[in-house]
Structure 1
């Protein structure tokens, strides 16, 4: 999860949006004599006012086009060349949008050269505002020491050294190095790489953590990710290899230095999160009210008749960003204690007779709809692993792929499960294929895909799966 930092600098974007829309419409009023003509196919006087009509048109399509081009996503490390490139691209796109407006309302009598002057002058002013805000922020950071990011650099690689030098020499970037670990030559060196974990865990005012990805094991990286999540700070990775490992890690360039961060996937953007969360809540309530309300008492009686112990089996799992949560299941084992490295195997004598049926039909997973309502899980997503298996599996497969699957909430069912990759892991290829399907789901998420997986899961309930035991 990406945490937005920067104190009050976040207000600059909405201010620039308002200024840009103001420029577009004031100059339109200046260059075009809108009020002398009427659009006769609109019945109301309000819509006959072409300037008001253009205000609405420009407002809608300006927001859409700038969002598509990330026009307002300018960061402290963004270069001047990139900003000029954004202005040029937005100029070309909005020119097409404006000429489409004229093409639709053919009664507008506007000369081509006038429209060109309008667009050029508008973008000269808009570009001036954009560059002015960019350099004012640099001045503010460099001379007034405001708008700073408090950062920690962890690692002894060449990339860590270069990043340290970049932040130290370029004060206008606004990065304040609070601590470094792993290199005695750095300022504010606080100790070894191992000491960094305690520092990140105990310090509450860190904005960003930069770590050399090759200086740590997968387990250590997972721990850093969890610590950063708990402390609401962004974690970014430095690499020395020349090749780009995966498209699943977003690459930003600080000057010429590549810095990796966990890519925000489409399922985690604001609109899709609302869609998916709404589906999760509605679907879970329907299941709890119309199924769990009568099924739970029956399961309770049957479990008590066969063996002693509680109705529910509670176990710790890794969720989004490796956050631990308590996951619920109907108890299917004679013993209720989770043992490290003991996946349920075929013909396992720990499984009760009722438990075999519950596990084969996946009914034992249904209490997890309460986890969905709590917000720890989703109806569809990568299945959560035991904490011990998270550590074991991470050693068997590519660390970047494994980290990527923890970028979304785990699910009651998932694409890997309906494809047969569930339960016991007998070979290395089993977990590799499971992660492959999980990551494919994350990269290609849609509400239709969720519904399809739910329907396939219902089908497997009646057919049964040989991997479910």
Structure 2
């Protein structure tokens, strides 16, 4: 749950208005200066249209980078980062717009003056905003005062958070486990009442309590005493020893709290839509502009050297462990072991043209048909033969987690050197760790990064490509 006070909530609406007023003011000043210099020959009525577009582009840029969406809950440095990204994107888009619409009449003097002034004004704006922000928090006592009860692994993490969160004022720790549970003891019960009373008098509004989920039924007395003092009690299930740091909490039907063991961006419909759109566009480009001429050439070369089909298709494990046919240019002579035995260095089954295909990774190109059809993605964990999936899921911890997402032509493990033959179980363990990192930290830009790293690795040559 994010923490907001009235000031940070209002700031979310005040700052966009201030920024828009500033941008429009700078626009008029830049236009005036350019006209005074005799460099602006654009008609005045056209300038009003350009101002409207300038504002619309700014709103689009800030929406894309989330500058104002959760402003009151964001670290100051993240606000700065979103600001300079928005300004940079606005420069590219608005300059392109002006160049397209004004052609020979574009005043580069105006563009230069406008963005220099915008940059200077934003630096000044954010400096004043930061100073005002910290002044309000420190002088006007708007930060909510909170206290903590508990003595587990989660406790220190929460205390560190309270001490670093500018919207909260950390009062201190009131006690440990005995403070929460041992209320049958009259001395303890009296101490609890005294400390809650003292905390309430000091202005504490919320008390966070780290509770073992198995002992939630033992805190009723604490709740009653907090209600007597007018203090809100907020329980934090002490799960630090049982869950990974990436676990998340959501609500089912806005009623039932649900704990998920890991953050999975591709479980969100918007993320899946973006990834699928990228896959369709990228695979369509490759199929139309590369495979359209590469396929017949490879078909002739493969057929000339050995008999058999041009494409090698093999059942592999896909998303949700559902089998699918994965396509490759055939790089081996037809053999009975191809569906169970991995290729090894100097494998006698590999043909001469096959060795070239595998070394350059061209044998993987038909998998763009898989991507277009939706059984694979451009980027994702590499799919394994069914026999290998059966083997490794029995001996490798979390091996099947990698099947939460679609398999890919290339992946985070592969660009980090973990491709090809897995001679030892430890190599597969490392590959699984990289695959799980990918599905827990997916972004569209991570996919783009992996694609570029793959291209660089292919051009440079890889030792494990055989």
- Shorter chain as denominator, the TM-score bin is 0.3 to 0.5
TM-score by length of 2: 0.47
| More helix as a share of residues | 2
Structure with larger Rg: 2
Report 1 or 2 for greater relative contact order, CA contacts < 8 Å, sequence distance ≥ 6.
1
